[in-house]
């Protein structure tokens, strides 16, 4: 077994070395060898419309009809989404919605289920 650190971004155990950095094959996060998982303490904190902290893998419910850009589809109020992934940026939730596919959502339009 190797003694490589877990990925500070996603917690994956499958990291590998490449020169002076570690790389996570699951989320493509790269960090220098001197940095440990504890050093990545500036974790991404995403809150839903009610102020609940969201985490990767949570289930959420959409609280507002959302038009899908470039399509005539609409994500209806009450749509449940499982297994979300948090990302940085304006649209900070990556997910797959049944009948629509992969989407990015803003956390202000969802609540934790």
Does the reported pTM lie above 0.75?
Answer: no
**108 vs 85: CA distance, rounded Å:** 15
Phi and psi angles of residue 111, each rounded to the nearest 5 degrees, phi first: -130, 150
In the predicted structure, residue 37 carries a pLDDT above the cut 50: no
Please report, in angstroms and rounded to a whole number, the separation of the first and last CA atoms in the chain. 38
pLDDT in tens, 43-82: 788 999 999 999 999 999 999 999 999 889 999 999 999 9
User: Residue 93's closest CA among 65, 69, 67, 112?
Assistant: 112
pLDDT in tens, 44-53: 889 999 999 9
Gyration radius of the chain's alpha carbons: 17
């Amino acid at each position: 077994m190797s003694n490589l650190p877990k990925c500070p971004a996603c917690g994956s155990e499958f990291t590998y070395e490449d020169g002076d950095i570690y790389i996570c094959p699951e989320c493509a996060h790269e960090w220098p060898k001197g940095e440990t998982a504890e050093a990545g303490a500036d974790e991404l904190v995403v809150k839903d419309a009610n102020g609940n902290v969201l985490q990767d893998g949570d289930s959420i419910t959409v609280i507002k009809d959302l038009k899908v850009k470039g399509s005539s589809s609409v994500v209806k109020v009450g749509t449940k989404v499982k297994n979300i992934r948090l990302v940085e940026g304006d649209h900070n939730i990556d997910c797959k919605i049944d009948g629509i596919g992969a989407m990015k959502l803003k956390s202000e339009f969802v609540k934790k289920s």
